[in-house]
Amino acid sequence: MNQNTLDSLALRSDFRAIARWVEPRSTVLDLGCGDGSLLSLLGEELDVQGYGIEINDAGVLACAQKGVNVIQQNL
């Protein structure tokens, strides 16, 4: 990871831990993705293709505003 990636990931310790498990340019499915912040970060920093599933209307809207692929569904 480059320094910019480390700086961005430093904001959330949980995102930092998850990012260590994710290979660059991989595909990620985030169940209960909330506002899509993790998928957005992984896409920007690790060139990940991400997909999210979220039930909350506000979360789905936030994902769409960030350009995160999201499906509104109750798991």
- pLDDT for res 26: 98
N-term to C-term CA, the chain: 33
Determine how many CB atoms are found less than 10 A away from the CB of residue 72.
Answer: 15
Across all residues in the chain, what is the average pLDDT? 90
Q: Model's pTM, two decimal places?
A: 0.82
18 versus 1: the higher-pLDDT residue is 18
Indicate the pLDDT class of residue 8, thresholds 50, 70 and 90: low
Domain count, the chain: 1
The enclosing domain of 29 has a CATH number of 3.40.50.150
* pLDDT band for position 9 (cuts 50, 70, 90): low
Range of the domain at 62: 3-72
Cα distances (angstroms) measured from residue 56 to each of 20, 38, 60, 61 = 27, 16, 6, 9
Q: How far apart are CA 54 and CA 4, in angstroms?
A: 28
Residue 1: pLDDT over 60: no
